[in-house]
Amino acid sequence: MAEYSKYQQKVIKNYYDNRESISLQKVQEFVTELYLSEGKKRKTYWNRISSHLEKLGVDKKTIDHLVAEDKPELVAALVKKLIDKAK
């Protein structure tokens, strides 16, 4: 296993400590892009949103429902709930 410097260890630790907030921020950004996209780009953003929601611990059934509905406002409402829950 590689030896990491103290600085590298701190960066890695901070990433894992803040992984949830990073994923929430990414989902928020992708929801904005989702409103503006069409076609293949839209599908790409749905895939990215799905992967970040899985990292946040959202149920697979819920994610599948959001993708099937294809409504960014539903994802935005879920993100709001997740943010309120994190506070």
HEC readout, the chain: CCCCCHHHHHHHHHHHHCHHHHHHHHHHHHHHHHHHCCHHHHHHHHHHHHHHHHHCCCCHHHHHHHHHHCCHHHHHHHHHHHHHHHC
Contacts of 48 (CB under 8 A, 6+ apart): 26, 30
Single pTM value for the model? 0.82
Higher pLDDT, 69 or 1: 69
For residue 29, give both structure tokens.
């950004």
> What does the pLDDT look like over 36-82, one tens digit per residue?
999 999 999 999 999 999 999 999 999 999 999 999 999 999 999 99
